[in-house]
Structures are given as structure tokens and as C-alpha cells.
Amino acid sequence: MIDLHTHTTASDGTCTPEALVKLAQKEGLKILAVTDHDSAAGVIEAVEAGKKYGVKVIPGVEISVVFEPTEMHILGYGIDVNDQIFAEALTKLKENRERRNPKMLAKLRELGFEITLEEVIAEAGGDIVGRPHMARVLLKKGYVSSIDEAFSKYLGKGCPAYVPKEKLTPKQAINIIKKAGGLTFLAHPVYLEKDDEGLKKILEELISYGLDGIEAYYTYHNEEQTRLYLELAGKYNLLISGGSDFHGENKPEILLGRGLGNLKIPEEKVSWINWFLY
């Protein structure tokens, strides 16, 4: 079993990097990529845990990039986390989040929610602090009945407490990943909400920047969508990736390596991962 899209406490997951790898072993995974949001802080711990538990761990990252009106993320695999340009870019993204968080919390307080930055930092327990941790505090305090409600009513794009995040452009994200020795993939293309022709235009633009692949296998891709993304990969000579987008208790319905029980990534489709196994 393979899962190339997972998150730890280094961003908005609830498993530490070692706990994630231990869970991967328990679930029978052979290969795991750690792809935290705008952070590679958990990669080294995960790689070391992989040696301990017999799981091959690929260093990765998931970078949010500028895209309207929905969201676009770029996955990077096989990165050198010590690359200076890459590390500096992630540090800047972290600083952008840190400027955004107090603004969102101020809006929540204006809405009548007693929630502090200290509470949110404590909830995060890791390098990256953001909206999922605010949602968990809201849930613990009884202001919402679920994480989904926190996002749909207050924290999601266009909601009363939302503040836009400063992001890299797609070209910038692809460049810094490639300079750090990594391969770049368009994550969960279904979230772009584009028709076939619109998606082709986006892929062609990203390919011009150096995009290497597309995440064809994903928890929320149906069979028809997966088939389309595989066809586009063939058309544009792109590599194929896939993963659950596991976040632990922040997305409890998603199981590591299995998604909603519908995820199975054929090893022959992702043979490029052998370049990064050690």
C-alpha cells in the first residue's frame, strides 16, 4: 500500500511525524510521503521513524498557491529540506500565517467567540498554526458541533472570520520545489472546479513552469474523474501521484492509505517513487 499525501502536527494533522509512520506500519503501508502544508518541519523525524518501523518515507510538501476563485495546491516530492531557497520560502509562508492568525481571531471575538491565540497555539502543538486549530478550539468550547461547521460558517473562504492568506504563485512554488531537487504535482485537481477544457489550459500553463505530474488518485475523486486525470497524464506525458490527504482527527472520515475506503494506488502507476527510496 502507498499513500503520497499525508499531514502531521507540523501543519494541520493530529499525528506527530513518528506517530504517522507508526500508524502507516500498522495499516500495512510500504511507502509514505509526508506532505505538510507550507512546511517540511516534520520530514526529518518521519524519515528517521521510517527506518525504525520499516516504512519507506518520501520527503514532501504541499504548497498553497494563488488561484481564483477556488484553491490550488502544488505537491512536491523528494525535496532537500535543507535547501536554502526552499527553506527561506517556507519561512516566509509561516510568517505570513502568523500575521493572518491574529486578524482571524479578532474577527471571531467580534462574533462573540472567546478564543485566544494562546489556545490555538496550544491546540496546534506544532510548527504551523492555522484555521484547523482555530476550528478545534471552537469545537472544544462548544461553539460549533463539528470541524466542518466551523469552516462552513466562520473560517472558510467568504465567511465572517476569513482573512485571505498571502501565497506564492504557481510558478514560484514549482520553481522552489524543483530547485530543492523535487518533483512537482498538481494536487487534487477536482478542487479547481474546472471543466475538461479549463483543466487542460491550467495544466498547459503549469507544465510551462515545469510541472511534472498530477494527483490522479485521491480520496474525493470518483472513478470518472480519476479516469480523466489518468488520460490527461498520458496526453501531457505527466507522472501520476495519489494519496488520501490524511489529517488524523481533523478529518476523521479519511483513513490513512484508504481514504474513504475507496483509495487504492496501483504501484506500477507511481513507479517514479523508486527514485527517492532509500
pLDDT tens digits, residue range 20-68? 999 999 999 999 999 999 999 999 999 999 999 999 999 999 999 999 8
CA atoms within 13 A on the CB side of 109: 10
Residues 6+ apart with CB under 8 A from 5: 33, 35, 62, 75, 187, 215, 218, 241, 242, 243, 244, 245, 246
- Write down all domains in the chain, each with its CATH number in brackets: 2-86+183-276 (3.20.20.140)
* Mean pLDDT value of segment 154-181: 94
Asked if residues 214 and 188 have their Cβ atoms less than 8 Å apart, the reply is no
pLDDT band at 278 (very low <50, low <70, confident <90, very high): low
Q: What does the DSSP 8-state code read for residue 103?
A: H
pLDDT at position 18 is: 97
pLDDT at position 166 is: 87
Asked if residues 28 and 57 have their Cβ atoms less than 8 Å apart, the reply is no
Strand order in the sheet with 72-77: 2-3, 31-34, 56-65, 72-77, 183-186, 213-218, 239-243
pLDDT at position 126 is: 65
Does residue 277 have a pLDDT over 80? no
Three-state DSSP class for residue 48: helix
pLDDT at position 169 is: 96
User: pLDDT, tens digit, for every residue of 109-129?
Assistant: 999 999 999 999 888 876 678
Cell 466562520, residue located: 154
Respond yes or no on whether the N-terminal peptide bond of residue 69 is cis (omega within 30° of 0).
yes
User: pLDDT, tens digit, for every residue of 124-161?
Assistant: 876 678 888 899 999 999 999 998 899 999 999 889 99
* Mean pLDDT value of segment 167-179: 96
Instruction: Provide, rounded to the nearest whole percent, the portion of the chain with pLDDT above 90.
Output: 82
Does residue 256 have a pLDDT over 70? yes
User: pLDDT, tens digit, for every residue of 67-108?
Assistant: 988 899 999 999 999 999 999 999 999 888 888 899 999 999
